[in-house]
Amino acid sequence: MTNVNDMLEVAVKAADGKRAEDLVALDIHEMSIITDSYLILSAPTERQVVAITDEIIDKMAEAGFQLVRQEGRSEGQWVLLDFGDLIVHVFKTETRDFYRLEKNWQAAPEIAIDQWTIKEDF
C-alpha cells in the first residue's frame, strides 16, 4: 500500500526545488472517493508551470510512483497530475486566483509540508 505522505514528500520537494509558490496540501480522503490528498501550488509563468510539472513527474517516477493521468500541460495554466492517492494541481498564479480551488475544499484539513520545503532568508 502506498503511503500518501511519501508521495507528498517527493512531490513537495520536486516542486519546491523548481521554485513553486504557495504550496498547500489538503487531506480530502473523507470528502472524496477519487483521491486521498491534493497538493496545490502555483508559478508566475506558463514556462515555470511546465518546468515544475516535468520535475514532479520525473521525481515521482524515480521514487516509483506511477502517473495515472495528466491534463492541461500544453496550456500551462492549470496542470492536473493524478498519482492515484495524490492529485497535484500546478497553477499559473492568475489561474489559481481565478478558480480558488482551496475555497472549494476549505473544510479539508491542511497537511503540514513545511518540513519538506527550503526556507529562504531575504
CATH of the domain at 75: 3.30.460.10
pLDDT of residue 1: 42
> Which helix (H) or strand (E) covers residue 90, if one does?
strand 86-92
Work out the angle at residue 6's Cα, subtended by the Cα atoms of residues 120 and 74, and round it to the nearest 5 degrees.
75
- CA nearest neighbour of 73 among 86, 97, 91, 93: 91
**Is 120 a domain residue?**
no
Q: 68 in a domain, yes or no? A: yes
- What pLDDT score does 121 carry? 53
- 49 falls in which pLDDT band (50, 70, 90)? very high
Give residue 8's domain range: 4-111
Q: By mean pLDDT, which of 9-18, 26-35, 74-83 is the weakest?
A: 26-35
Residue 116 lies in a domain: no
Quick: pLDDT tens for 101-115.
988 898 999 999 999
Asked if residue 84 belongs to a domain, the reply is: yes
* pTM of the predicted structure, to 2 decimals: 0.93
Amino acid symbol at 53: T
Closest Cα partner for 77 from 44, 38, 102? 44
In a domain, 118, yes or no: no
Structural domain total, the chain:
1
- Assess if residue 119 is contained within a domain: no
- Residue 113 grid cell: 509540508
Q: Is the pLDDT of residue 122 over 80?
A: no
